[in-house]
């Protein structure tokens, strides 16, 4: 992030494909203005005693709407105030209240994002377990003699370690082999294939005639225990996964709700923050009662590829005026106005591009504040998006080997070319690039060149006349 506002504008103008304007600031001195190159430019500096800002601004807005343009967009609205002014104190009180709300919400969001990591991790572990169950039950469909035991061996290992207590327990498979001399028991237990029924298991064990009957009896007991454990834990894992998916979906929706609440506060903070470029200006002295305000509007008409931009820069002396009715106090701004009118041959898409550029320039705070949350969300990878979309769909009896494939197909159908992350940070991020070709818009109503020139000249000329200024 660049410190100087002019530098920010220059860099962003280049980034968004605009050529920067160079204008005569004073006689024979040309400087870059920080605005795109215009076709025509008018400038007016207006300073009279007790000049209120509201009057000139709303005169221009009303003139646009009554005579020239149906749509007026506010592009920028920022201000600065001297540190020792009364207006500065009032503004900072409001800013502090907004910042307190933001800090509370962001602390909650940060905690909930941290919890998302644990939820996604648990779902990964459950899916891994269910993949072993799925592989084991698939082998049951085959004849007994050709069933593979790779997934079954993994499940048996988990069973021996977690349920039987491993080699330290005398009653476990390994404990009986080491302490009770059932040496062949571990090999017989792990080599046994998956069984459909207990009867099938008993037939298999009875067929092992080369081994001691005591060993076979113990083997039946362990295999019967494992088969029952496998059946019940499969149902438990499926129920747990279904509950965890629902909880993750609810958790994410709450984060989304908090981010929706945060956005207005962040925008308010940005607007209440003093503009850095003006704080260093010679026109603003900390010991004086003073403020500087920038307002920028664009007038345009649907289907016309020309528009008019009007910028106001006010150097004012704000007074806190008491209104007797209701005993209310509010600021009244009086001072000097610098108004500039520019004509551009922009269509609707170009105006939107310029607006996005100004938002990016004015809302750096939003990006900084949300970046840590955004980075955390992105660190979760595709699993978060996969599980979230699954939580919003139908809960099916899980075939764990197809979980990822099915989930991603569901994502493709539902997200409509917008990643999940944009649901949270759509206001702070650039639009995702679409692979679809942009269709031709509606037919133009004419290039609007005459309209834009008439609007710019009319606002300039009639503003002078209505305010009793010299006109030529």
- For the stretch 129-138, pLDDT in tens is 899 998 888 8
pTM of the model: 0.50
Q: Is 28 left (phi over 0), alpha (psi -120 to 50) or beta?
A: left
Euclidean distance between CA atoms 15 and 36, whole angstroms:
12
- For the stretch 419-448, pLDDT in tens is 555 555 555 555 554 444 434 433 344 467
Q: What is the DSSP string of 237-255?
A: HHHHHHHHHHHHHHHHHHH
Which of 25-39, 359-373, 393-407 is the least confident region? 393-407
Do 320 and 90 touch, CB atoms closer than 8 A? yes
What letter does residue 294 receive in the DSSP assignment?
E
Q: CA nearest 34: which of 279, 272, 358, 299?
A: 358
Instruction: Identify the pLDDT of residue 250.
Output: 86
| Angle at alpha carbon of residue 372, lines to 371 and 376, rounded to 5° | 115
Euclidean distance between CA atoms 136 and 153, whole angstroms:
9
Q: What is the DSSP string of 337-365?
A: EEEEEEEE---HHHHHHHHHHHHHHHTHH
Mean pLDDT, all residues of the chain = 76
Name the token pair of 79. 């201000």
- What's the mean pLDDT in 74-84? 75
Predicted confidence (pLDDT) at residue 311 exceeds the cutoff of 70: yes
Instruction: Identify the pLDDT of residue 423.
Output: 57
What distance, in Å, lies between the first and last C-alpha atoms of the chain? 45
- Residue carrying structure tokens 């106090």: 329
Q: CA nearest 418: which of 402, 436, 406?
A: 436
Which of 20-24, 224-228, 252-256 is the least confident region? 252-256
Name the token pair of 43. 């400038």
Do 319 and 90 touch, CB atoms closer than 8 A? no
Q: CB-based contacts of 406: which residues, under 8 Å, 6+ apart? A: none
Euclidean distance between CA atoms 36 and 32, whole angstroms:
10
Angle between helical axes of 403-414 and 382-392 (0-180°, round to 10): 80
């Amino acid at each position: 992030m660049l410190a100087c506002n002019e530098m920010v504008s220059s860099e962003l103008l280049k980034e968004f494909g605009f050529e920067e304007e160079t204008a005569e600031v004073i006689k024979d001195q040309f400087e870059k203005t920080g605005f795109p190159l215009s076709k025509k430019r008018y400038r007016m500096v207006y300073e009279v005693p007790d000049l209120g800002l509201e009057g000139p601004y709303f005169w221009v807005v009303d003139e646009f709407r009554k005579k020239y343009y149906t749509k007026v967009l506010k592009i920028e609205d920022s201000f600065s105030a001297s540190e020792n002014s009364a207006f500065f104190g009032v503004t900072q009180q409001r800013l502090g209240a907004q910042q307190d709300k933001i800090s509370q919400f962001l602390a909650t969001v940060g905690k909930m994002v941290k919890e998302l990591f644990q939820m996604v991790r648990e779902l990964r572990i459950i899916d891994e377990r269910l993949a072993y169950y799925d592989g084991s039950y698939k082998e049951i469909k085959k004849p007994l003699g050709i069933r593979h035991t790779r997934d079954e061996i993994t499940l048996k290992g988990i069973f021996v370690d977690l349920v039987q207590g491993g080699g330290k327990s005398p009653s476990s498979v390994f404990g009986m082999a080491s302490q009770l001399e059932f040496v062949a028991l571990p090999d017989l237990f792990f080599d046994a294939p998956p069984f459909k029924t207990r009867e099938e298991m008993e037939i298999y064990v009875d067929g092992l005639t080369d081994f001691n009957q005591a060993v076979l009896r113990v083997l039946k007991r362990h295999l019967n225990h494992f088969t029952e454990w496998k059946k019940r834990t499969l149902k438990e894992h499926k129920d747990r996964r279904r509950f965890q998916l629902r909880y993750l979906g609810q958790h994410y929706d709450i984060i989304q709700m908090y981010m929706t609440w945060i956005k207005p506060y962040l925008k308010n903070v940005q607007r209440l923050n003093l503009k850095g470029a003006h704080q260093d200006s010679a026109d603003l002295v900390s010991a004086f009662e003073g403020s500087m305000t920038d307002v920028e509007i664009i007038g345009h008409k649907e289907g016309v590829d020309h528009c008019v931009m009007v910028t106001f820069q006010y150097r004012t002396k704000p007074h806190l005026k008491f209104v007797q009715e209701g005993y209310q106090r509010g600021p009244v701004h009086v001072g000097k106005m610098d108004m500039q009118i520019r004509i551009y041959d922009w269509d609707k898409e170009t105006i939107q591009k310029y607006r996005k550029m100004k938002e990016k320039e004015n809302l750096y705070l939003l990006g900084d504040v949300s970046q840590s949350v955004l980075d955390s969300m992105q660190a979760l990878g595709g699993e978060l998006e996969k599980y979230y979309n699954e939580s919003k769909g139908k809960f099916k009896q899980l075939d764990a080997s197809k979980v990822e494939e099915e989930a991603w197909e569901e994502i493709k159908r539902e997200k409509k070319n917008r990643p999940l992350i944009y649901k949270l940070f759509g206001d702070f991020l650039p639009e995702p690039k679409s692979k679809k070709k942009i269709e031709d818009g509606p037919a133009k109503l004419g290039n609007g060149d005459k309209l834009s020139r008439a609007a710019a000249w009319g606002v300039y000329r009639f503003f002078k006349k209505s305010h009793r200024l010299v006109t030529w």
